């Protein structure tokens, strides 16, 4: 059998609902009274400019993360329009530069947190390879390399030299992101204008040598990577064959000797 709700309780519920309705009604009336009335196109346009500016700021993800004080932001906007800013132009520039620095620091912090697992995975991969292959050596900077085959020896390039190489680059999972071998065209470049791992590694080689480099991100493309093929923090593996060294000073000396003869 269903229990009947006492009439007193029903009365109390109805009274409570009416009381809530009575409280909401003034709020709605006040809201309606606050609604702006535009008397001209310029008034509408003025409001639209302010709304557009504030909406852009409100939707900026970085500003959200920086916990901007909206009340002071609005006051600064209003004071600036009215020529009543608490700061002079130099102080404003100082604060904006400080804020820009804080944003950059925040972005770097987030990027570092994002790429750290990628770095750790690369380090673990190379450590595992080194444990299985004692021929992989490591320089003081952290560059890992393995001699695949040696040529006839001879001069090694300096950082100021231009070198001609064939190479293939992969990620640690074997994904190939670049290869002069596949293109069928060797690459020539100044050794001091490439990633640090290449600049250091090529100086270990003589013409005809083939090396494999395991390059951590701080000697490669860093936390930013090289989109879209190289993610931030990635360890890179390069098979490199040094084909030629184009030493500018030696070439000039040979040219002078030839002219003298």
pLDDT (0 to 100) of residue 58 = 85
The helix (H) or strand (E) run that includes residue 240 is strand 236-246
pLDDT at 59: 87
Angle at 117 between CA 112 and CA 119, to 5 degrees: 80
Q: Would you state the pLDDT for residue 222?
A: 94
Active site residue 213: no
Q: Indicate which residue of 145, 161, 167, 211 is catalytic.
A: 167
Catalytic choice (77, 87, 177, 226): 177
Active-site residue (options: 145, 161, 195, 215): 195
Active site residue 172: no
The confidence band for 13, taking pLDDT boundaries of 50, 70 and 90, is very low
User: Can you state the angle between helices 70-81 and 41-58, rounded to 10 degrees?
Assistant: 140
- DSSP character at residue 4: P
* Catalytic residue, candidates 145, 211, 214, 238: 238
Encode pLDDT of 19-67 as tens digits. 444 555 555 555 545 788 999 999 999 999 999 998 998 888 888 888 8
Asked if residue 144 lies in contact with residue 237, where contact means CB atoms within 8 angstroms, the answer is: no
Give 34 or 147, the one with higher predicted confidence.
147
How do residues 106-140 score in pLDDT, each as one tens digit? 988 888 899 999 999 999 999 999 999 999 999 99
Distance of CA 69 to the CA centre of its chain: 27
Catalytic residue among 79, 178, 239, 244: 178
- Please count the residues of the chain: 261
If one counts every other C-beta atom within 10 angstroms of the C-beta of residue 114, the result is 13
Consecutive H or E run containing 48: helix 41-58
| Residue 133 falls in the annotated catalytic set | no
211, 237 contact by CB (below 8 A): no
Mark whether 136 is an active-site residue: no
Annotation marks residue 38 as catalytic: no
- The pLDDT of 77-81, averaged and rounded, is 91
Model confidence pLDDT, tens digit, residues 187-227: 999 999 999 999 999 999 999 999 999 999 999 999 999 99
Q: Is 195 a catalytic residue?
A: yes
Q: Measured between alpha carbons, how far is 198 from 140 in angstroms, rounded to an integer?
A: 15
- Average pLDDT in the 1-20 region? 41
The more confidently predicted of residues 139 and 252 is 139
Q: Cβ distance 158 to 214 under 8 Å?
A: no
Annotated active-site residue in 221, 223, 237, 245: 221
Q: What is the DSSP string of 48-106?
A: HHHHHHHHHHHT-HHHHHTT--HHHHHHHHHHHHTT--SS-HHHHHHHHHHHHHHHHHH
Q: How far apart are CA 18 and CA 16, in angstroms?
A: 5
- pLDDT digits over 155-187, tens only? 999 999 999 999 999 999 999 999 999 999 999
The model carries a pTM of 0.65
Which residue, among 211, 242, 219, has the nearest Cα to 136 in the 3D structure? Answer: 211
Q: Is 169 helix (H, G, I), strand (E, B) or coil?
A: strand
Tell me how far apart the alpha carbons of residues 191 and 164 are, in angstroms, rounded to a whole number.
Answer: 10
Domains of the chain, CATH where assigned: 123-252 (3.10.50.40)
Contact 200, 213 (CB under 8 A): no
φ, ψ of residue 180 to 5 degrees: the values are -70, -25
């Amino acid at each position: 059998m269903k229990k009947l709700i006492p009439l007193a309780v029903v009365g109390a519920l109805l009274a409570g609902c009416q009381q809530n309705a009575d409280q909401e009604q003034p709020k709605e009336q006040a809201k309606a009274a606050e609604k702006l009335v535009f008397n001209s196109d310029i008034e509408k346009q003025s409001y639209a400019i302010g709304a557009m500016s504030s909406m852009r700021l409100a939707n900026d993800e970085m500003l959200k993360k920086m916990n901007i004080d909206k009340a002071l932001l609005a006051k600064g906007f209003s004071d600036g329009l009215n020529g009543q800013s608490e700061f002079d132009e130099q102080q404003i520039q100082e604060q904006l530069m400080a804020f820009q620095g804080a944003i950059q620091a925040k972005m770097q912090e987030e990027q570092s947190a994002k790429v750290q697992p990628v770095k750790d995975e690369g380090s673990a991969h190379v450590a595992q390879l080194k444990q299985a292959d004692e021929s992989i050596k490591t320089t003081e900077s952290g560059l890992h390399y393995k001699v695949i085959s040696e040529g006839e020896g001879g001069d090694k390039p300096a950082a100021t030299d231009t070198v001609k190489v064939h190479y293939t680059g992969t990620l640690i999972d074997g994904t190939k992101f670049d290869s002069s071998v596949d293109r069928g065209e060797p690459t020539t470049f100044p050794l001091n204008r490439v990633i640090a791992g290449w600049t250091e590694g090529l100086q270990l080689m003589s013409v005809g040598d083939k090396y494999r480099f395991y390059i951590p991100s701080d000697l490669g493309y860093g936390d930013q990577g090289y989109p879209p093929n190289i993610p931030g923090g990635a360890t890179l593996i390069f098979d490199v064959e040094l084909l030629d060294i184009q030493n500018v000073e030696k070439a000039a000396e040979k040219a002078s000797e030839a002219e003298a003869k």
